Amino acid sequence: MKKREEQIRDEMKREREMFKDEMRKEKENLQTEIDRLMNRIENERKKREEEFNEREERYKTLMKEKEDLQSKHEEEENKMKILMEEKLNREREELMKKHEEEKERMKKMMEEEQQKHDKERKRREEELKRREEEKQICDEQIQRLRSEMEGIIREKEQMKMMMEEERQNHEKERKKREEDEKRREKEKQIIDEQIQRLRSEMEGIIREKERIERERREQLEDLEKRLTEERNMREDQQKTSEETLKLLEEQHEEELKRRRVEWREKYEREKEKMMRKICSETDQSLQVSAYRKLETEYRKWSWSLRRAMMETENKLLNKIENGVIHEVEETDLQRELKKTSEEVKKSMLEFFEYDRDKYILIQWKTSFEIKIKELQENIVRETKRKLNEILHQRDLKKKIDDQRKHHENTLYEKSKELALKLKDKTNDEETLRKEFDLFWEQSVKKIITDTPAIKDIDVMRDVREILNDHWRERRDIFTVPSYSDYIFRKSRKNIIETLKEVYGFEVRTLSPEDEAQIRSLVSDVVQQTDRMIQSFNISKMGYNISFIQQLTDYIKARVKEHQEEQENYVFKNEFFMDLVISICKRSNKKITDQHRLFREANDPVIHVEKKREEYYSIFQKYCHGSTSAAVFGEIICQKLKESIEQSVYKKTARDLTDEMKSNCESLNGNRSNLEKHILKTLAEEEDFGKYMNYIHNPRDHYKSLIRDEVSRYISDKFSVSVLPKMKMNIELLQQKIMKAAHKSTYHVQKNRGDVGLWLKSFTQQISDELIFSEKDLSGVKHDDVDDFRLLEDVMRQELPAIMSEISRRFSTRTFPVNLDYKFRPDELLIDLFCQCCWVQCPFCGATCSNDIENHDGDHCAPLHRVIGINGTYDSSTKNLCTDICTNLVASRQYFNTSSQWFPYKDYRRAGGVYVKWSITPDLSELPYWKWFVCRFQKNLEKYYNKTFQGDAEIPYEWTNHRKHEAIESLDRYM
């Protein structure tokens, strides 16, 4: 037994040594492999260092070339300056000639004026003679009046004599009255004695009456006691009857409520029964047609609310810029929207009650009433947010605005001072121009010194600076067929497998569910960053690199949040980098255009130089001795010019949007109508790139199509529709301005006010329409303006010229460019059509057709697709699928998620994105997408690097579908 145990111990010892030897060899092999990989990493690092050094040398060479180019550019600038001076000299000589001609013309005019003056003098002398003759006639009349007065005096003396005789008669009458008075006194004594006797008789009668009254009072008190007792008894009886009646009423009310509930339940049962009967008896195509009609009406109702809110927003925005209001409440917005809201409710009621399909439409009435209510709440809430942001930004940009106004008003005052110095040289136009140009150059130099010029921006340079990514060329994340290259798979691997995946030896693909989640993340981040860029209000506040930092931080936070929720994969850093750069590239033009508008409005050189001729015109008026009222009127008109232009552009954009909603074929219906137009256009153009953009980024494709439609409409209809609208809006605005000026003049004259009161009244009346306040004239001296009729007349004369200038500048090129993005007609329509659901089918990628973003209930689509179009393939064969998801949900086939297999029939069991989709089994032909697969088979195979082979081979009967059949089929299925 002992020997056996020793043998076992020896065998175990040998096995342990053998196992140690094997482990040692395995460890050495692993160490060798790790060393080999580390050497490879080190070689790669050295190679990249060499590339970096080469690029650094190339960068130095480029900088040197740039300096050479700058020196050449300076030489060219000097040459141009010399040429410009020669040109100016020639122009000055021409102006001198014109000046001499003008002087001769003025002499002739003065001679003519002298002749007119002589004629006027003769006319006045004749008038003087006529007046002397009239004076003689007046003297004669005065003499006649004097003789008449003497006659009147004589008559007066005669009257005195008559009055004396009357007085004597009156004295006789008085004596007679005294005698009568004595006689009456005697009669009075006799009457008093009779009265005394009657009084004693009356006292006896009164005593008898008092006795009778006491007896009656006692009888009444007895009667009152009896009545009180009867009343108390009756009140007790009445209380008892009231309690009984109340009890009966309560019982009756309870019975009525119970019956109402029964009637309501019976009505609901009958209604539900009727609806089931209608739905079962009604053809599916009729229900679809009725629903499409309802969607069209819903689009009209929603646009009515949005349009009314846009008008309110524009009015409040002007008041905010004018400093009239300092806070916006939801109640204010709801009050402004109340009238339109009531009109929409009335229209909805009439539609659901009187439409011929009302028995079909009734099933959606409640849901659409809720939709309209939610839409109204959303636009009120969003408008309040935007306006309060602008209120906050107004305080931040106050310094910029004050500085710009200070420069403008200082120039006005200094040009006035210069004009007063040159008042004796008003006939020498050349001297005036030379002095003004010298003053202008000096003033602009001082402004530039005080306020540095606003520089151009390079958004992509700032993006790469923040990301520290200067050299690598990035991919456009919106066009990649799959996100598989951007992820690591989460799984248990040894170090060698992990390193292989890091260095690209092995790539794992994503499931369709994961692809859909990442695509949804990208789409949502794009939408939110668009809103952030709009909230920056760059056209008013200017660009700052911190905006890019905010976008980057937001994107990083969203990517991190999404990654923490995933169990199957981890994003590579390239995903974040490519997403940031792709979004910024996409928004680069918008940011640059908005900064250009800010620069044109606030850069001291650009803004002031644009107004050079305006200042010169006012300078000339000062030189020629125009009154303060005349000059002040022109200054007001010049200050109003930019605000008038913006107001006209905005109003025209809203009117044009209204017209396109009615007249443009692709935009005059609901969202389904627009999608049908998109699919028809794609089929007619046969552009595979546009198809892929529509399939993977439907929102972007919608926006692109709307912008193209608006641009085409403006170009085609500019002279017959856009220009007349603009001219009409200019006329209306001109009338409103002159009406405000006239009312202000009347108000000041009535209240004996000054120019401050006139200006306050004027700005208050136009604050709804124009950005113009008393602060715009804070540095312009106008205390001596007192002729308000003249001020009004000057404005009436100057405004038409300004309106004509705005009209001349209005063209297809300047119309959208001079508007901020949020006010352009294409952006207004994008806001209308794209504020909806964009969730895509997890199988085929079809977009949900619901008009409400984050809506209740399931997602659904009217036209599903071949799932291979979305890049779905058989994982065992790598072949693209030719199935359609509406067919699959009626089959016995299975699909695989990242965790397990599920039958298509019970696709909701897979959870996640599948739960919220309603995919109805449908075995219809669907020619459109079958034609698309046949037409672009090669393109799809190349795009996804997969094939249509084996079990996934395209059925032969699909090739029989023609393009015109595919286009015509859209009318049947949408």
Same domain (yes/no): 878, 945: yes
Q: Which residues contact 953 (CB under 8 A, 6 or more apart)?
A: 882
Question: How far does CA 502 lie from the centroid of its chain?
Answer: 48
Residue 406 maps to a domain: no
- DSSP letters along 678-691, please? HHHHHHHHT-HHHH
Residues 301, 372: contact at Cβ < 8 Å?
yes
Tokens of 463: 């993006």
Whole-model pTM: value is 0.64
Q: Give the end-to-end CA distance of the chain in Å, rounded to a whole number.
A: 91
Choosing from 111, 132, 159, the residue where a domain stops is 159
Q: What is the pLDDT of residue 193?
A: 64
**In angstroms, rounded to a whole number, what is the distance separating the alpha carbons of residues 242 and 645?**
75
Q: What is the pLDDT of residue 690?
A: 92
Residue 679 maps to a domain: yes
Q: What is the pLDDT of residue 609?
A: 77
- CA angle 725–728–731, rounded 5-degree value: 150
Same domain (yes/no): 914, 813: no
Residue 109 maps to a domain: no
Same domain (yes/no): 895, 818: no
Same domain (yes/no): 657, 802: yes
Q: What is the pLDDT of residue 139?
A: 66
Tokens of 515: 């692809």
Same domain (yes/no): 871, 963: yes
Same domain (yes/no): 830, 905: no
Q: What is the pLDDT of residue 736?
A: 94
Q: What is the pLDDT of residue 282?
A: 46
**In angstroms, rounded to a whole number, what is the distance separating the alpha carbons of residues 249 and 304?**
48
Q: What is the pLDDT of residue 499?
A: 39
Same domain (yes/no): 789, 920: no
Q: What is the pLDDT of residue 541?
A: 83
Burial 576-607 (b: 16+ CB within 10 A, else e): bbbbbbbbbbbbeebbebbbbbbbebbbbbeb
For residue 214, the one-letter residue type is R
Domain count, the chain: 4
Same domain (yes/no): 830, 884: no
Burial 668-681 (b: 16+ CB within 10 A, else e): ebbbbbbbbbbbbb
Same domain (yes/no): 879, 786: no
Task: Please report the beta strands in 207-261, taking only residues with DSSP state E, as ranges in sequence order.
Answer: none
Residue 732 maps to a domain: yes
Same domain (yes/no): 823, 894: no
**In angstroms, rounded to a whole number, what is the distance separating the alpha carbons of residues 341 and 546?**
41
Same domain (yes/no): 655, 784: yes
Q: What is the pLDDT of residue 259?
A: 62
Same domain (yes/no): 684, 828: yes
Residue 882 maps to a domain: yes
Q: What is the pLDDT of residue 210?
A: 66
**In angstroms, rounded to a whole number, what is the distance separating the alpha carbons of residues 349 and 335?**
21
Burial 328-345 (b: 16+ CB within 10 A, else e): beeebbeebbeebbeebe
Residue 776 maps to a domain: yes
Q: What is the pLDDT of residue 684?
A: 93
Q: What is the pLDDT of residue 745?
A: 92
- Residue stretches of the chain with pLDDT short of 50: 267, 271, 276-282, 492-508
Residue 150 maps to a domain: yes
Residue 268 maps to a domain: no
Residues spanned by the domain of 286 = 282-396
